[in-house]
Every structure is written in structure tokens, then in C-alpha cells.
Amino acid sequence: METDFEIFLATAPGLETVLQAEAAALGFAAPEAVAGGVNVRGDWHDVWRANLHLRGANRVLARIGSFRVMHLAQLDKRARKFLWCDVLRPDVPVKVEVTCRKSRVYHAGAATQRIETAITEELGAPISKDAAIRVMVRIEDDLCTISLDTSGELLHKRGHKEAVGKAPMRETLASMFLRQCGYDGREPVVDPMCGSGTFVIEAAEMAMGLPAGRARAFGFEQLASFDASAWDEMKAATVSHETNVRFQGSDRDAGAVRMATSNAERAGVAGVVGFEMHPFTDATPPDGPRGLVMINPPYGARIGNKKLLYSVYAGLGTVLKTRFRGWRVGMVTSEPALARASGLPFAKPVSPVAHGGLRVNLFQTKPL
């Protein structure tokens, strides 16, 4: 099996070019934005590094092989010859998922059965619907491509956020929206409707150079290709640093403030992050340089009455225009009309992004 292979970095549709920029900044070779993510090439160390460091990827898939198939008997034969032992362990259960498109092998269920049988009979690994290791097979235009989901749980689960609010912003999305706003870790970030603190904590982690996946386990740790000592060396070589930048969140809900404070402590950023309980109407900028106000107000689709929110957005806009002069604003909402109600001078939004069953946009201003 090749030591250098294609690695697919999955992200929310609409954020492919943002993730491409992050992958390039981290030194991944020739990142190419494609539908649903970014393709790079690398080896298993690059797979581990992507899981550990990328903030915007939802999953990291290793494309471990491909072959042509014209019928099920051919799939059965070639799946049995595939070197499963190079990547899978006989003592670790796997789950096989197959999709078929524009191919003579069109029955995904029958194809799944052939591949499951090949793995169990040739390698000895058990098949389980609850397995942490997923073998993902795509048969398209008669080409069978085999990938492994190396992440396990979705990558927004950083490992330190136990408490979430009613409609939490996923960490992966938060980091991509921060990046779209030009955030690079060198300026303060304020969120006057912080909920469980995702934007503020994510920004603080970026400022301190803390690897996104430092506090969790990954699926690749259960693969035959895993080298525990090399992985420990990679984690030990990551360099975090102190920052003079400060981050501030506030919320009118005492429970949200408690959640955010606990999440920041578990993330190791409590020293640079502060949370206060008060309504957004009492928000004031911290002392020091101006920076970015990053906010994810309620949309009305799941939380609250949409009609009542027009006055909320208008009030928010007034607070920001009067007290946060010189600050940029990034606002995430599914309702362009609500964004307009704020009266803020937003530029035209970029592509909408799927978030919790909704399509949300990032609205941005220049310094107010």
C-alpha cells in the first residue's frame, strides 16, 4: 500500500476555500478545495497532524486504495486481495458504509456485504454497526475508492466542552467564521451573546497556539498503521505560547456564563478569557486595542419568536455602533432581514453554510 495517499478534509459546504487556506497555512501539500472539503496528499503522519491541528475540518478521511469494478463478483475478488492488514487490526471491530453512483455495481447493500465478508474472512476483524472505525467505500463511474474515517468522533468535539447551550455553535464552524473575519490571534474578541463561550474560547485557543485536538482520542489510534511513540512525539512537539490579548464574553443567562467559564477552564484558556452576566445592552469594549465582535444571535427558527427579534437586532446594532467604534463585527444568522434590522454596514455575505438544519450566513463589517 502507498505511503503517500490522498487525504480528504471534510468541512461544511460553503467553507471549502476557508479550510483550504487553513490547510495551506499549516503546510499541507497543495490543498485543493473540492465539494464538501479539501484534498491534500500525505502519509499517516499527515493524517495525525490534520486531526490534531486543523480547526475547521469535521473529519479526516484517508483514501487508502481504489480499483475498477464492473460487477459484484469482481468486487468480491478485489476486496479479498486488498491489503486490509496494512491498515486494519484483526482485533478491532469495523463498520462498512458503501455508496454507489453511476456504476454497474449499483446495489449498495450487496456491495457492503461483499466488502464485510472480505474483511472478516481475509483479516478476521469483526463487523459492528457501533464500531468506531468506519470503512467508507464509494463506487462511482465503476471506480471503487476505499477510505478510512481516521477521526472517530466528529472533530468539533474538542474534548473539553462538556456544557452547551440551546443552539450551540460547533467549534469547527466558529473557527472558520473567525478565520473568514480575518482573525489571526493577535486582536481581542468580544461576544456579547456568548452562550457556552464557543467563539471566545476558540479565539483564545488560536491566540495561544493550542492544537484543536489536544484533549481527545482519535479513530486512527486503533489502526494497524498507528505508531504510539511517534504520535506522542508529535503531540509533545506542539508549541503553545502565552498571549497578551484578552477575550471577553457576556450573556444575560447565569447558567450560560457558568457553562462558558467551566468550558474555558477545561480548555486551559481561563487566564485570558473573562465572562460576565449581563444583557447585551450593557456590553462595553475592554480596555486596550480594538478588535473583533463575533456574535451568533438567536435566529427565531428554533429559539424565540422571530418577530420579537427585530427589536433585539436593532438594539444590538445601536450598542455596537455607539460603544464599539473602530471594532469590526462578524454576525452569524440565518435571517438576512434580521441582520439588516441591526443597521450595521454589512458587506454582501459570502456563501451560506449548513448549521443545525439551517442555512446561515456570516455578515461582516469593516471597522465601525
pLDDT number for residue 1: 47
pLDDT category at 168 given cuts 50, 70, 90 is confident
- 70 pLDDT more than 90: yes
pLDDT number for residue 56: 97
pLDDT number for residue 28: 96
The tens digit of pLDDT for each residue in 271-306 reads: 999 999 999 999 999 999 999 999 999 886 554 566
- 163 pLDDT more than 70: no
pLDDT number for residue 166: 61
- 267 pLDDT more than 80: yes
pLDDT category at 127 given cuts 50, 70, 90 is very high
pLDDT number for residue 305: 66
Range with top average pLDDT, 7-21, 165-179, 345-359: 7-21
Radius of gyration (C-alpha) of the chain in whole angstroms: 23
- 185 pLDDT more than 90: yes
pLDDT > 70 fraction of the chain, expressed in percent and rounded: 96
Q: For residues 368 and 366, what is the distance between their CA atoms, to the nearest angstrom?
A: 6
- 361 pLDDT more than 50: yes
For residues 193-206, average pLDDT:
96
For residues 232-240, average pLDDT:
94
Question: Minimum mean pLDDT among 60-64, 120-124, 240-244: which range?
Answer: 240-244
For residues 333-358, average pLDDT:
92
For residues 91-109, average pLDDT:
95
Architecture of domain 5-149: 2-Layer Sandwich (3.30)
pLDDT number for residue 360: 94
Residue range 171-210+246-364 forms a domain whose CATH class is alpha beta
pLDDT number for residue 255: 93
Question: Minimum mean pLDDT among 296-310, 325-339, 350-364: which range?
Answer: 296-310
How much is the mean pLDDT over the chain? 94
Question: Minimum mean pLDDT among 64-73, 265-274, 352-361: which range?
Answer: 352-361
Locate the domains of the chain by residue range.
5-149, 171-210+246-364
